[in-house]
């Protein structure tokens, strides 16, 4: 997954423990002799066909599409003092993601750097990819800007119904098979996964032909395994995982931190229990794990260790929040913080204007300086007053001043401005987005605001004005009031 420096997720940034809930399990192979209080993997595997699509060096690709002269050159996308991503030409010369710009230039003097702090073009291209994938299956779940899960189960079933027995006998997959496992055409799940690999190849071909983008794909029976196997062969390749190889894939992880769904905090707690490998987690006492982490978390992560994941692919739909964030080496004054907050807010107000929905909650997030590699964030949020909500999305900046005042109050709730402080990140998030047509009938706002009949991911809206209804009501009331008077006068 592309490590996005300024805004890692369209949905506004999630806690690692919340992210963990996305990944669970469903294709296990028993290991050794189970202890009485250990989790035993399920014997039957899922019949689903899930594809994980991961775009290659996404930001860099978008830049090369915008400027074809950059193709073939070592390219890095810069945000502040970091190279947040780079193309494969740069990687071959020693440049890595999240490398300091100065270090990257030393490694590769000919490195071309482009400014990637404005996420608009990346965001727009990201949604184009999702919309293209939805042409293959309506069940598409976004994961950041450059990853999507696609549930192809129904489409695979439809294709199998169209195949004749002779076609099945000659069925072949597309791309790699993990661990070079032999394919059994008498196994229904093997056949489904092969068909899924063919559709995955078609999706990748469409992405390249229509958008100019390349990416990797993993085909498996659940989201966890599809995500893990998609990164085995890179770039611009795909891999199918047959259920018998799931344990080999899971055990290939060098540390539990590499397991999707196990965040930094959980990994630290597991390490404190002496658990560092997947095998450690598989064989650890479930009773002790439940006592230390709680039943829900313990059962979830232990199932993950066996490759079990029952979580559905959930269509994302329009984002439920908008966020903009800025990272920096140091922010240590209230004046500087306010200036950065104003910049972030201005960008958010523009996005709200394009989207058409109105936020009802605002959140401020900060990150304090820490010598540790992993730094936790703090946040405060509050409802947006109704009189300010009315001003949002109108294209007017009347809302800027009162919104900045609200954000600075949230800032002072977290930061004692009378004492020295050192921040390295600020983020502003609009949450609880609601369409305009949620206004109650009978209020003037209901009739004077456009109905958001459709909102495309690019922000374009189609309007269904309610003026006709309002005019009919006014004329009706006017006739009821004045017609009797006119008749009396005439008499």
d(CA 437, CA 215): 39
251 CB-near residues (< 8 Å, 6+ apart): 278, 279
Residue 147 appears among annotated catalytic residues: yes
Cα-based distances in Å from 378 to 179, 302, 366: 43, 29, 5
Q: Which residues contact 147 (CB under 8 A, 6 or more apart)?
A: 1, 2, 52, 53, 54, 55, 227
Structural contact between residues 423 and 331, judged by C-beta atoms closer than 8 angstroms: yes
β-pairing, 176-177 vs 238-240, is: parallel
Minimal CA–CA distance to 366: which of 287, 429, 446?
429
Contact 384, 406 (CB under 8 A): yes
Ranges of beta strands (E only) in 310-357 are 322-331
CA–CA gap between residue 442 and residue 315 (Å, rounded): 34
Q: Exactly one of 89, 141, 147, 324 is catalytic; which is it?
A: 147
Nearest C-alpha neighbor of 212 from the set 140, 321, 129? 129
> Residue 181: CA atoms inside 13 Å, Cβ hemisphere, count?
20
CB 20 within 8 A of CB 299: no
Whether the Cβ atoms of residue 48 and residue 195 lie closer than 8 Å to each other? no
- What is the rounded distance in angstroms from the CA atom of residue 171 to the CA atom of residue 164? 11
Token representation of residue 105: 């230039």
Q: For residue 445, count CB atoms less than 10 angstroms from its CB and return exposed for 0-12, middle for 13-18, buried for 19 or more.
A: exposed
Nearest to 203 by CA among 194, 191, 216, 190: 216
Helix (H, G, I), strand (E, B), or coil: what is residue 191? helix
Cα–Cα distance for residue pair 277/47, rounded to 1 Å = 28
The answer to whether the peptide bond before residue 235 is cis (omega within 30 degrees of 0) is yes
The b/e string for 103-115 (b: 16+ C-beta within 10 A; e otherwise) is: ebbebbeebbbbe
Give the SS3 label for residue 368.
strand
Strand partners for 55: 215
Catalytic residues: 147
């Amino acid at each position: 997954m592309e490590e996005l420096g300024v805004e890692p997720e369209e949905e506004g940034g999630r806690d690692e423990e919340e992210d963990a809930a996305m990944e669970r399990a469903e294709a296990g192979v028993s290991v050794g002799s189970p202890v009485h209080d250990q989790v035993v993997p399920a014997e039957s595997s899922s019949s689903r066909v899930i594809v994980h699509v991961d775009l290659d060096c996404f930001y860099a690709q978008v830049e090369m599409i915008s400027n074809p002269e950059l193709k073939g050159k070592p390219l890095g996308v810069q945000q502040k003092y970091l190279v947040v991503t780079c193309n494969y030409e740069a990687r071959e010369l020693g440049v890595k993601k999240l490398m300091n710009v100065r270090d990257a230039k030393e490694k590769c003097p000919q490195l071309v750097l482009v400014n990637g702090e404005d996420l608009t073009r990346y965001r727009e291209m990201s949604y184009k990819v999702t919309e293209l994938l939805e042409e293959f299956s309506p069940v598409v779940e976004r994961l950041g800007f450059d990853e999507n899960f696609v549930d192809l189960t129904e489409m695979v079933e439809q294709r199998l119904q169209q195949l004749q027995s002779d076609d099945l006998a000659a069925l072949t997959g597309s791309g790699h098979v993990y661990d070079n496992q032999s394919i059994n055409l008498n196994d229904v799940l093997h056949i489904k996964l092969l068909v899924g690999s063919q559709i995955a190849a078609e999706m990748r071909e469409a992405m390249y032909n229509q958008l100019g983008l390349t990416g990797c794909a993993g085909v498996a029976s659940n989201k966890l395994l599809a995500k893990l196997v998609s990164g085995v062969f890179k770039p611009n390749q795909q891999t199918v995982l047959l259920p018998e190889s799931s344990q080999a894939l899971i055990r290939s992880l060098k540390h539990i931190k590499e397991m999707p769904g196990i965040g930094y905090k959980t990994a630290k707690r597991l390490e404190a229990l002496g658990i560092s490998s997947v095998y450690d987690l598989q064989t650890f006492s479930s009773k002790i794990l439940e006592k230390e982490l709680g039943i829900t978390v313990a059962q979830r992560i232990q199932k993950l260790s066996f490759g079990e994941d029952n979580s559905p692919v959930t269509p994302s739909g329009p984002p439920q929040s908008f966020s903009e964030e800025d990272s920096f080496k140091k922010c240590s004054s209230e004046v500087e913080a306010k200036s950065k907050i104003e910049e972030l807010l201005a960008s958010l107000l523009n996005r709200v204007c394009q989207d058409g929905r109105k936020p009802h909650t605002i959140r401020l997030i900060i990150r304090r300086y820490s010598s540790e590699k992993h730094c936790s964030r703090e946040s405060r949020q509050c409802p947006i007053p109704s009189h300010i909500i009315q001003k949002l999305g109108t294209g007017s900046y009347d809302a800027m001043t009162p919104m900045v005042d609200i954000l600075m109050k949230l800032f002072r709730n977290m930061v004692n401005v009378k004492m020295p402080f050192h921040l390295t990140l600020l983020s502003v998030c609009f949450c609880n987005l609601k369409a305009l047509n949620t206004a109650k009938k009978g209020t003037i706002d209901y009739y004077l605001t456009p109905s958001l009949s459709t909102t495309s991911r690019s922000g374009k809206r189609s309007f269904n004005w309610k003026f006709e209804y309002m005019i009919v009501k006014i004329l009706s009331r006017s006739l009821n009031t004045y017609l009797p008077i006119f008749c009396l006068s005439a008499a």
